[in-house]
């Protein structure tokens, strides 16, 4: 039985990946490509028409070819290069180089952001954990609070031997780390950092990201299967049943804001929340607030973070699915985990907590945009989309870390119970209730505005409490960590 | 393994399961948990027979840390053997020194001076707190909470500082020895200890808030690995494991040795859920009760220590012990209430400085015996919860 599975595992896996990618990607890419082509053409057209420079611009060539303008310059190109070359240049090569440049920039940006963020988050998690545990965490590498610790760890991991244990399924073993890492990277393609800072503004961006989350599970499953280790296998099986179960309440929780805004395009969802703190979707009505909580918990489980970190439960499964991994392959799993953590936080921000908008209404900043330089600069800081989105993402990552270093781990049967018996009915109920709310209660009515005000107050208190406790802990850190540690603090 | 065997282990008669479920039946798997595993507390090796996540059987294999402690005891003088007892249960060196010294003193008929008695009680109770702190922290770790571990170690550090000031060592002390203690308490010890007790007592409530009464923690440990009082007695459990099952048995109170009859303290036992702040999910004898008995014992140790500081006498700290102490012919078996249970030493003398036989009853060894009995039909995640609540130290199991 085992040997047959071993032989068919690769084809089954490849077909599975192809099917999932086909289902998830094809429509997404198609919509995105067509859209962006139309947008591109429109932009260049306008740009080229604006100036009256007598130069060889694409727009001019194009218009000449289409017979809409007469010019002295265009026939020159026509004569010099020939008609077909001009056509190829104007309609294929010139747009293509724009798109290639843009895509290369996007890929470099995404890879760079994910790598940098993962390194930062690993260092930061160690510091957060240390502060919560009366320790100092990394203090040596790089000088200030060991900021270069992740860098040093990464270099160390690069140098380590790439170990394959005996009996491991080598191709699958190699592949698993990539299958876990690539989707975690890929979902950033459709994740908007602001209305403009997005690699591909897909019509179905949310579904694309959701699908990428789903593909990531395959990597863990393959890793557990290919490792030839019973602990890894346990971890993989746990991951499988946990992920598959929690995607359902996660999906239901996502449907709630989708139903309210009526679109799957993340940039549109974000721009609907530009009117300040009280217009953020989570504070629109109580059910959206509940959906935000459900989404956050289900996302915790999907990112296998504590208290749902069963697939890598150290005290039970040694290291779970990555027990047999070493060196950079092991690091890839971690990169994927932190990337997914950020993506979950950013998604929560986009869907529920005002996306890339500051808590102040965006309209307040409109006049600054055209004011003197200092006002423009202020606008760039206070209303900067990417800054706010990354900040919100980091805030949610921080809450995830906080939970991890406070709570014990749940048992497998309790995880499943919480999903099927608690979260799923609750998510369905919230979806249903939101349907009726949106149908019966207009947002301009007294009830709608009262609910909005109450939810805003609750949200403000929660956010302020979390930030306040953190600041209190930071300010009083010397007293809270105890005298023994203070002895070793720098400057003590 | 034949078909019927598996079904009998699952406690479901074959007829009751629908045919489809039996078709889907998976194979059993033998998994090695340890000797290198994060939650087996050293080098315990458990052979798990699993059906998916369900544990059908757990068989402990021991002996990875065997260091011939008893044989060494038959080749050196008692005074030379005291440092070896530190290495038995390396978290409770003082209690081990104490137990062995008491046995030898009983054999030789030595009288310990008054101050020596108090020093011994102070050290034993301090070490009890230190060991329970490690146990508390590690148990949190077994359940998946990392932070309590560091909290436990933070306070343990103060105790180790006290030990270091007293005898220079932080783990293997060789401090309590035949006839009393090897050195007097250092200057300022009493004040430092008094400060520590005031500092430490509120911390126990902090631990309880952080871990003991955490909802997830209760869900993970309450009603898991229940050991009935009858089973506990039958398997020879002692210490917090026995008391967690509701049996009020503590040698310090029931068979007083040393000067424990001079102090007022309670014996905490496992209480059924719903009483006096105990969560309703709790059953007497479950993992939570065993864990919580340790938390309560720390408070009792603080009580004993406070009384010790009040009563602490001056004078000699060690009896006059001859350079070459000849052990008279005869044998002595003496048990003390160690941190993990009753720690017994058998010393047989034959009119020579070197004993004829030294035998040690390690409480961890006896407590470990119940693992196969309890780890049956539980989930994989329950195994660390159960083994952690029994709290074995492999140095003492393998000796």
Query: What digits encode the pLDDT tens for the residues A84-127?
Result: 666 666 666 666 666 677 777 777 888 888 888 888 888 989 88
CA B136 to chain centre: 11
Q: What is the CA radius of gyration of chain A?
A: 26
Residue bearing the bigger pLDDT, B218 or A5: B218
Q: Under a CB-based contact definition with an 8 Å cutoff, are residues A403 and A307 in contact?
A: yes
Q: Which of B38, B154, B217 sits opposite A134 (nearest CB)?
A: B154
Domain count for chain A, please give it.
1
Look at residues A397, A424, A16 and name the one whose alpha carbon lies nearest to residue A246. Answer: A424
**Is the predicted pLDDT of residue A430 greater than 90, yes or no?**
yes
**Mutant choice from A129, A307, A314, A316 vs B, greatest count of B C-beta within 10 A:** A316
Question: Average pLDDT for residues A252-267, to the nearest whole number?
Answer: 88
- pLDDT value at position B127? 93
Give yes or no for residue A7 having a pLDDT over 80: no
Kindly report the number of other CB atoms within 10 A of residue B312's CB atom.
18
Contact A443, A260 (CB under 8 A): no
What does the block give as tokens for B73?
A: 């005891």
- Range in A199-203, A234-238, B185-189, B257-261 with the lowest mean pLDDT: A199-203
Residue B352: DSSP 8-state:
B
| pLDDT for the residue B99 | 92
Q: How far is B239 from chain A (nearest CA, A)?
A: 25
Neighbours of B359 (CB within 10 A): 16
Give every CB contact of residue B155 below 8 A, 6+ residues apart in sequence: B133, B200, B203
Residue range A269-296: mean pLDDT, rounded = 87
Tell me if A447 is assigned to some domain.
yes
| pLDDT for residue A39 | 46
In a domain, A144, yes or no: yes
Q: Distance between CA A330 and CA B31 in Å, rounded?
A: 23
How close is the nearest chain B Cα to the Cα of A244, in Å?
17
Tell me the pLDDT band of A40, cut-offs 50, 70 and 90: very low
pLDDT given for residue B8 in this prediction: 44
| Domain B69-398 superfamily per CATH | Cytochrome-c3 Hydrogenase, chain B (1.10.645.10)
Query: What's the Rg (C-alpha) of chain B?
Result: 22
| Of residues B145, B44, B22, the one with CA closest to residue B391 | B44
| Interval A388-414 mean pLDDT | 88
Q: Residue B53 is encoded by which pair of tokens? A: 């996540």
Report the alpha-carbon distance of residue B38 to residue B47 in Å, rounded.
Answer: 15
Structure tokens at A422: 């608690």
Read off the pLDDT of each residue in A157-182 and give the average, rounded to a whole number: 85
Return the exposure string of B241-275: e unless at least 16 CB atoms fall within 10 Å of the residue's CB, then b. Answer: bbbbbbbebbbbeeeebbebeebebebbbbbebee
- Which among A164, A192, A486, A120 is positioned nearest to A356, based on CA atoms? A192
Nearest chain B residue to A2 by CA distance is B27
Tell me what the mean pLDDT of segment A196-201 comes to: 76
pLDDT of amino acid B134: 92
User: pLDDT exceeding 70 applies to what percent of chain A?
Assistant: 78
What would the pLDDT profile of A170-198 be if each residue is shown by its tens digit? 888 888 888 888 888 888 888 888 877 77
Tell me the C-alpha distance between A300 and A313, whole Å: 15
pLDDT above 70 (res A83): no
Nearest-by-Cβ selection for B144 from A132, A134, A408 = A408
Rounded to the nearest 10 degrees, the angle between the axes of helix A205-226 and helix A327-352 is 150
User: Would you say residue A147 has pLDDT above 50?
Assistant: yes
- Give the model's pLDDT for residue A485: 53
- Domain range for residue A399? 114-486
User: Is A20 domain-assigned?
Assistant: no
E strand intervals along A317-458: none
Reported as a pLDDT band with limits 50, 70 and 90, residue A16 is: confident
Q: Please name the residues between 10 and 69 in chain B that touch chain A, using a CB distance below 8 Å.
A: 29, 31, 37-39, 52-53
**Mean pLDDT of the region A462-480:** 80
Residues forming a β-bridge with A119: none
Residue A417 belongs to a domain: yes
* Reported confidence tier of residue A67, pLDDT bands at 50, 70, 90: low
Reduced to 3 states, what is the DSSP secondary structure of residue B325? coil
- Asked if B382's CB is within 8 angstroms of A314's CB, the reply is no
Average pLDDT over residues A375-381: 74
Chain mean pLDDT for chain A: 78
Residue segments in chain B with a per-residue pLDDT below the cut of 50: 1-10
Residue B302, pLDDT score: 93
B326 within 8 A of B178, measured Cβ to Cβ: no
Per the structure block, which two tokens stand in for B287?
A: 């993992």
CB B282 within 8 A of CB B288: yes
Cβ of B211 and A408 within 8 Å?
A: yes
Residue A95 lies inside a defined structural domain of this protein: no
- How confident is the model at residue A452, as a pLDDT? 85
Residue A56 inside a domain? The answer is: no
Residues of A within an 8 Å Cβ radius of B: 129, 132-135, 230-231, 234, 237-238, 306-307, 309-310, 313-318, 405-414, 482, 484-485
Amino acid A20: pLDDT: 65
The pLDDT value recorded for residue A38 is: 44
Q: Which residues contact A17 (CB under 8 A, 6 or more apart)?
A: A179, A215, A218
Domain extents in chain B? 3-61, 69-398
Q: Return the pLDDT at B2.
A: 44
Closest CA to B338 of B33, B94, B142: B94
Q: What whole-number distance in Å separates Cα of residue A145 and Cα of residue A137?
A: 8
Position with higher pLDDT, A204 vs A490: A204
Q: Which residues contact A66 (CB under 8 A, 6 or more apart)?
A: none
Is A48's pLDDT higher than 80? no
| Cα A139 from Cα B182, distance rounded (Å) | 40
């Amino acid at each position: 039985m085992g040997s047959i599975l071993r032989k068919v595992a690769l084809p089954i896996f490849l077909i599975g990946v192809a099917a999932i990618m086909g289902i998830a990607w094809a429509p997404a890419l198609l919509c995105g490509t067509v859209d962006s082509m139309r947008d591109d053409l429109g932009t260049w057209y306008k740009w080229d028409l604006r100036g009256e420079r007598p130069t060889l611009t694409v727009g001019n060539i194009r218009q000449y070819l289409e017979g809409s303008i007469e010019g002295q310059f265009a026939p020159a190109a026509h004569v010099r290069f020939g008609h077909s070359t001009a056509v190829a240049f104007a309609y294929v090569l010139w747009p293509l180089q724009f798109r290639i440049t843009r895509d290369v920039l996007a890929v470099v940006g995404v890879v760079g952001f994910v790598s940098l963020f993962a390194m930062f988050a690993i260092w930061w998690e160690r510091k957060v954990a240390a502060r919560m545990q009366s320790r100092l965490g990394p203090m040596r590498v790089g000088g200030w609070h060991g900021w270069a610790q992740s860098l040093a760890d990464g270099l160390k991991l690069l140098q380590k031997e790439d170990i394959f244990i005996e009996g491991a399924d080598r191709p699958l073993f190699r592949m698993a780390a990539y299958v876990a890492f690539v989707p975690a990277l890929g979902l950033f393609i459709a994740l908007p950092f602001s209305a403009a800072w997005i690699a591909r503004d897909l019509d179905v961006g949310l579904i694309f990201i959701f699908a990428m989350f789903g593909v990531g599970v395959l990597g863990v499953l393959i890793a557990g299967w290919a490792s030839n280790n019973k602990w890894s296998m346990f971890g993989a099986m746990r991951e499988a049943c946990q992920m598959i179960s929690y995607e359902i309440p996660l999906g239901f929780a996502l449907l709630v804001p989708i139903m309210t805004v009526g679109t799957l395009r993340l940039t549109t969802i974000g721009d609907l929340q530009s009117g300040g703190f009280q217009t953020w979707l989570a504070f629109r009505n109580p059910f959206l607030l509940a959906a935000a909580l459900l989404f956050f918990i289900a996302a915790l489980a999907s990112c296998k973070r504590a208290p749902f970190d069963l697939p890598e439960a150290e005290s039970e499964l040694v290291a779970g699915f990555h027990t047999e991994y070493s060196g950079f392959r092991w690091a890839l799993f971690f990169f994927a985990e932190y990337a997914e953590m950020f993506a979950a936080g950013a998604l929560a921000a986009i869907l529920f907590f005002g996306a890339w908008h500051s808590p102040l209404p965006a309209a307040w900043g409109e006049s600054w945009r055209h004011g003197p330089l200092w006002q423009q600069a202020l606008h760039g800081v206070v209303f900067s989309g990417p800054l706010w989105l990354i900040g919100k993402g980091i805030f949610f990552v921080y809450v995830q870390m906080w939970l991890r270093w406070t709570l014990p781990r749940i048992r497998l049967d309790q995880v499943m119970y919480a999903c099927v018996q608690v979260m799923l009915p609750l998510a369905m109920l919230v979806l249903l209730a939101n349907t009726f709310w949106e149908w019966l209660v207009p947002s301009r009515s007294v009830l709608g505005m009262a609910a909005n005000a109450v939810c805003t107050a609750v949200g403000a208190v929660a956010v302020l409490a979390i930030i306040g406790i953190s600041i209190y802990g930071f300010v009083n850190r010397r007293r809270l960590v105890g005298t023994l540690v203070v002895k070793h603090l720098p400057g003590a | 393994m034949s078909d019927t065997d598996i079904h009998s282990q699952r406690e479901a008669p074959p007829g009751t399961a629908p045919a489809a479920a039996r078709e889907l039946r998976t194979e059993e798997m033998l998994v090695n948990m340890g000797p290198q595993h994060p939650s087996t507390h050293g080098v315990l090796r458990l052979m798990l027979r699993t059906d998916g996540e369900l544990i059908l059987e757990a068989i402990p294999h021991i002996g990875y840390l065997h260091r011939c402690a008893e044989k060494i005891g038959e080749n050196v003088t008692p005074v030379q053997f005291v440092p070896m007892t530190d290495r038995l249960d390396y978290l409770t060196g003082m209690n081990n020194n104490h137990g062995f010294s008491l046995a030898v003193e009983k054999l030789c008929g030595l009288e310990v001076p008054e101050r020596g008695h108090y020093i011994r009680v102070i050290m034993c109770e301090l070490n009890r707190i230190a060991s329970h702190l490690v146990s508390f922290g590690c148990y949190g770790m077994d359940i998946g909470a990392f932070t309590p571990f560091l909290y436990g170690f933070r306070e343990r550090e103060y105790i180790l500082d006290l030990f270091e000031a007293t005898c220079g060592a932080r783990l293997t002390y060789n401090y309590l020895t035949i006839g009393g203690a090897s050195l007097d308490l250092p200057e300022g010890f009493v004040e430092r200890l008094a400060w520590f007790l005031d500092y430490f007592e509120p911390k126990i409530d902090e631990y309880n808030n952080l871990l003991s009464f955490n909802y997830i923690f209760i869900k993970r440990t309450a009603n898991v690995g229940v050991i009935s009082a009858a089973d506990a007695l039958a398997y020879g459990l002692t210490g917090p494991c026995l008391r967690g099952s509701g049996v009020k048995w503590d040698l310090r109170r029931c068979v007083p040795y040393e000067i424990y009859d001079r102090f007022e303290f309670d014996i905490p036992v496992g209480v059924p859920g719903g009483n006096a702040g105990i969560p309703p999910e709790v059953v007497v004898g479950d993992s939570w009760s065993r864990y919580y008995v340790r938390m309560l014992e720390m408070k009792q140790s603080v009580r004993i220590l406070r009384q010790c500081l009040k009563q602490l006498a001056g004078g000699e700290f060690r009896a006059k012990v001859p350079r070459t102490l000849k052990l008279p012919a005869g044998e002595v078996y003496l048990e003390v209430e160690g941190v993990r249970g009753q720690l017994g030493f058998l010393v047989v003398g034959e009119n020579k400085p070197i004993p004829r036989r030294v035998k040690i009853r390690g409480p961890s060894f006896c407590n470990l015996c119940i693992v196969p009995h309890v780890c049956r039909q539980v989930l994989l995640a329950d195994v660390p919860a159960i083994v952690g609540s029994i709290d074995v130290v492999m140095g003492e199991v393998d000796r």
